Amino acid sequence: MELNDIALIRRSIRKYDPEKAVSREELESIVRFAQEAPSWKNKQTSRYHIAITPEQVEAVRSCLAGSNQQKTEGVGALIVTTFRHTIVGFDREGNPDNEGGNSWGWYDLGLQNAYLLLKAAELGLDTLVIGIRSAEQLRQTLSIPDSETIGAVIAVGHRAEDAQRPPRKELDEIVKFY
Ligand X SMILES: Cc1cc2nc3c(=O)[nH]c(=O)nc-3n(C[C@H](O)[C@H](O)[C@H](O)COP(=O)(O)O)c2cc1C
> Would you tell me which residues interact with ligand X (CB under 6 A)?
11-12, 14, 68, 71, 128-132, 152, 163, 166
For ligand X, the closer of residues 131 and 145 by Cβ is: 131
For ligand X, the closer of residues 88 and 154 by Cβ is: 154
Kindly state the smallest distance separating residue 11's Cβ from ligand X, in Å.
Answer: 4
For ligand X, the closer of residues 31 and 130 by Cβ is: 130
Distance of CA 40 to the CA centre of its chain: 18
Kindly state the smallest distance separating residue 19's Cβ from ligand X, in Å.
Answer: 22
Amino acid type, 171: L
Kindly state the smallest distance separating residue 171's Cβ from ligand X, in Å.
Answer: 17
Gyration radius of the chain's alpha carbons: 17
Contacts of 4 (CB under 8 A, 6+ apart): none
- CA nearest neighbour of 46 among 94, 88, 91, 3: 88
